[in-house]
């Protein structure tokens, strides 16, 4: 038996009668298989601990994995890696989701899913469509909020696309001069669906009456805590499986007081590295502002058009290269 010791848990691999390694985990205080009262499936805390260890290359540090409460059963992370296509159906410039015909886009996403399955055979891959449901605008619009809410029929169309490949859906908010308190409740009927999750974009959250795109916006821990609290309340009311909240980030100022972000059993938080450029720049951003300010889980965005390495043209980081990051991202987004 081979054991790896972690401050809260001991992870071991032992040989089963057939000679294959099987994971065993022991909580130093108590080993448990927890059954949620809200759901009938069994949450395996031992497997959860083992997947966290894999996430950090079997080398836990002071910061990683982050010590948080166990999620409710039905949690996606860290049991699966999410691979998402990002964009808006009204724009070919905002991401791959809106820049290609539906069939071509879905086929491309499935190819990326296959690539990730091959790169990390230990972690199942879950496809997702990450749709910008509230887009920041350079003009105030009728509301004066410098944001545009997408019509329901467009969101419904994304949901139908997702069903075709059993994908999750993330609805993303670029608040402009609005607030999360105003925008998240508008999406309530969609967030009540078990496979619909939430994304929030500090870059386009303008706190000082700036125009979106003229400067980089910001969200505070209090804003993020509002989002998680809202989602948690939905789960308590409706007995839903845990939600995922994706927070985009590529500078320190985009998320203030990150150490005050609260984690809850009902919501899994992904801090997503949203910067583009050549690989060393992206890795540096990830190291400083995602891994360097740990919250819970991490994500990494790949830009098909903007990740430029040198004069020879585009260089897209491969799954194998991204898997070398510490910790390994469990949410991968393609734009």
Q: Is the pLDDT of residue 32 over 90?
A: no
Q: Cα dist. 255→312, 330, 332 in Å?
A: 34, 20, 20
Q: In this predicted model, what pLDDT tens digit does every residue of 186-232 receive, in sequence order?
A: 999 999 999 999 999 999 999 988 999 999 999 999 999 999 999 99
Q: Is the pLDDT of residue 39 over 70?
A: no
Q: In this predicted model, what pLDDT tens digit does every residue of 118-144 receive, in sequence order?
A: 999 999 999 999 999 999 999 999 999
Q: In this predicted model, what pLDDT tens digit does every residue of 285-304 receive, in sequence order?
A: 999 999 999 999 999 999 89
Q: In this predicted model, what pLDDT tens digit does every residue of 76-103 receive, in sequence order?
A: 999 999 999 999 999 998 999 999 999 9
Q: Is the pLDDT of residue 30 over 50?
A: no
The helix or strand, by DSSP H or E, that contains position 51, with its residue range, turns out to be: helix 45-55
Instruction: Give the integer Cα–Cα distance in Å for 52 and 25.
Output: 12
Mean pLDDT (the chain) is: 88
Question: Which residue ranges form the domains of the chain, and what is each CATH number?
Answer: 2-55 (no CATH), 81-334 (3.20.20)
Residue 317: φ, ψ to 5°: -60, 135
Name the nearest CA neighbour of 296 among 247, 251, 250.
Answer: 247
**Are the C-beta atoms of residues 247 and 282 closer than 8 Å to each other?**
no
Q: Is the pLDDT of residue 319 over 90?
A: yes
How are beta strands 9-15 and 21-27 bridged, if at all?
A: antiparallel
Alpha-helical (H) ranges within the chain are: 45-55, 96-99, 102-119, 152-164, 180-183, 188-191, 221-238, 279-285, 319-322
Q: Is the pLDDT of residue 10 over 50?
A: no
Q: In this predicted model, what pLDDT tens digit does every residue of 238-259 receive, in sequence order?
A: 999 999 999 999 999 999 999 9
Question: Can you read off the two tokens belonging to residue 156?
Answer: 């419904």
Question: Can you read off the two tokens belonging to residue 320?
Answer: 């194998």
Longest dimension (CA), the chain: 69
Name the nearest CA neighbour of 201 among 181, 215, 216, 214.
Answer: 216
pLDDT computed for residue 316 by the predictor: 84
């Amino acid at each position: 038996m081979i054991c790896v010791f972690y401050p809260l848990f001991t992870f071991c691999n032992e040989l089963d009668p057939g000679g294959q390694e099987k994971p065993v985990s022991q909580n130093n205080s108590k080993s448990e298989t927890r059954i949620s009262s809200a759901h009938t499936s069994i949450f395996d805390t031992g497997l959860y601990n083992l997947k966290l260890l894999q996430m950090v290359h079997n080398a836990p540090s002071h910061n990683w994995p982050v010590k948080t409460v166990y999620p409710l059963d039905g949690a996606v992370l860290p049991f699966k890696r999410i691979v998402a296509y990002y964009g808006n159906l009204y724009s070919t410039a905002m991401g791959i989701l809106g820049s290609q015909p539906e069939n071509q886009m879905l086929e491309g996403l499935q190819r990326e899913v296959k690539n990730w399955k091959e790169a990390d055979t230990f972690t199942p891959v879950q496809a997702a469509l990450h749709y910008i449901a509230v887009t920041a605008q350079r003009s105030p619009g009728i509301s004066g909020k410098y944001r545009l809410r997408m019509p329901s029929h467009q969101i419904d169309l994304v949901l139908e696309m997702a069903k075709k490949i059993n994908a999750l859906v993330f609805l993303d908010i670029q608040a402009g001069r609005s607030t999360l308190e105003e925008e998240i409740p508008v999406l309530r009927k969609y967030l009540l669906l078990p496979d619909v999750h939430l994304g929030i974009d500090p870059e386009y959250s303008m706190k000082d009456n700036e125009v979106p795109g003229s400067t980089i916006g910001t969200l505070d821990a209090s804003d993020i805590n509002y989002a998680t609290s809202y989602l948690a309340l939905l789960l308590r009311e409706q007995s839903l499986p845990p939600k995922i909240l994706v927070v985009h980030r590529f500078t320190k100022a985009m998320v203030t007081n990150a150490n005050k972000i609260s984690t809850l059993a009902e919501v899994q938080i992904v801090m997503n590295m949203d910067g583009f450029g050549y690989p060393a720049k992206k890795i540096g951003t990830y190291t400083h502002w995602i891994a360097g300010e740990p919250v819970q889980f991490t994500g990494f965005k790949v830009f098909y058009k903007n990740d430029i390495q040198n004069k020879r043209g585009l260089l897209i980081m491969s799954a194998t290269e991204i898997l070398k990051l510490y910790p390994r991202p469990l949410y991968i987004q393609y734009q």
